[in-house]
């Protein structure tokens, strides 16, 4: 697991050696300012994400920042869906330590899912769907024990689904459809209706659109089929072999026939030259 960024450790030090209110504000400021730097905003939707507002992002339960919701003076929800945002997800988002919902869906954000999200121990909703995120799904997300929703559909994610995600007992919504994932679906995500009937079981719609993903509730792994070129090659090879064998057989038959005829002719000559007694 990658080490947390330097700013994250600086935030921890501020939290330890600063008054609680000041420490919380500093952590949120570091989170929001770094996130703004990592994002590209072609439509200027984040025009009020300024340094002045970062210094006091929350005023009780309100915020002047677009997409930011506060609770008791702390940032607890980021909702920046459908704003045509590009760029990447900053690892410094881990500084929003009180964050419970992170929604960056329906944008053009690329790069990987930063594993530092696992430091958001209060996170309940993670929606990064309909972006251009690539790379593997971080297994460290299993450290966010309060996660109820993981929505990563319609990205470019690859690799296997981490088995560790099946340990998230509160998970009630899970969607990784239409990516480039491969390998078996973890058993604990495919069928979690064991002892506790209230535990959810995610159906095929959570996994479709990944051609190399297999296992319940999707069909089992299929053997690698032959390509069209291979089938054509086998057919041509078989036909050529049959032709060669047929030609060889005809040649042998002609040779045998010719030899038989010659032997018969020789017998006739000998019988003609032999004197009669």
Mean pLDDT estimate for the chain: 80
pLDDT tens-place string over residues 123-138: 999 999 999 999 999 9
Residue 155's nearest CA partner among 171, 141, 135 is 135
Percent of the chain with pLDDT over 90: 60
* Confidence class for position 242, pLDDT limits 50, 70, 90: low
- Flag whether pLDDT at 24 surpasses 80: no
Query: In this predicted structure, which of 2-6, 54-58, 73-77, 200-204 has the lowest mean pLDDT?
Result: 2-6
- CB proximity list for 198: less than 8 A, separation 6 or greater: none
pLDDT of residue 86: 98
Query: Cβ distance 77 to 101 under 8 Å?
Result: yes
* Confidence class for position 61, pLDDT limits 50, 70, 90: confident
pLDDT tens-place string over residues 213-235: 999 899 998 765 444 444 434 44
The predicted model gives 140-153 an average pLDDT of: 97
Q: What's the CA gap between 102 and 115, in Å, rounded?
A: 14
Residue 176's nearest CA partner among 199, 203, 195, 197 is 203
């Amino acid at each position: 697991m990658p080490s947390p960024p330097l700013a994250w450790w600086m935030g921890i030090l501020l939290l330890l050696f600063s008054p609680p209110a000041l420490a919380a504000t500093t952590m949120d400021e570091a989170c929001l300012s770094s996130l703004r730097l990592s994002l590209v905003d072609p439509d200027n939707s984040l025009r009020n994400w300024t340094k002045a507002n970062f210094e006091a992002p929350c005023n009780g339960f309100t915020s002047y920042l677009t997409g930011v919701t506060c609770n008791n003076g702390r940032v607890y929800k980021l909702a920046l869906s459908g704003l045509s945002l590009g760029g990447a997800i900053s690892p410094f988002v881990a500084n929003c330590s009180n964050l419970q919902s992170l929604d960056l869906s329906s944008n053009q954000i690329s790069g990987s899912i930063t594993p530092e999200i696992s430091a958001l121990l209060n996170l309940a909703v993670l929606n990064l769907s309909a972006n251009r995120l690539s790379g593997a799904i971080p297994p460290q997300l299993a450290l966010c024990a309060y996660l109820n929703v993981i929505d990563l559909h319609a990205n470019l994610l690859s690799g296997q689904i981490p088995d560790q995600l099946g340990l998230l007992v509160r998970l009630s919504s899970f969607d990784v459809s239409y990516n480039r994932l491969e390998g078996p679906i973890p058993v604990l995500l495919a069928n979690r209706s064991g002892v506790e009937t209230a535990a959810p079981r995610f159906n095929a719609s959570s996994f479709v659109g990944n051609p190399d993903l297999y296992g319940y509730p999707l069909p089992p792994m299929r053997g690698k089929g032959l390509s069209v070129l291979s089938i054509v090659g086998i057919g041509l090879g078989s036909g050529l072999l049959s032709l060669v064998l047929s030609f060889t057989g005809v040649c042998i038959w002609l040779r045998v026939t010719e030899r038989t005829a010659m032997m018969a002719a020789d017998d006739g000559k000998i019988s003609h030259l032999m004197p009669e007694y």
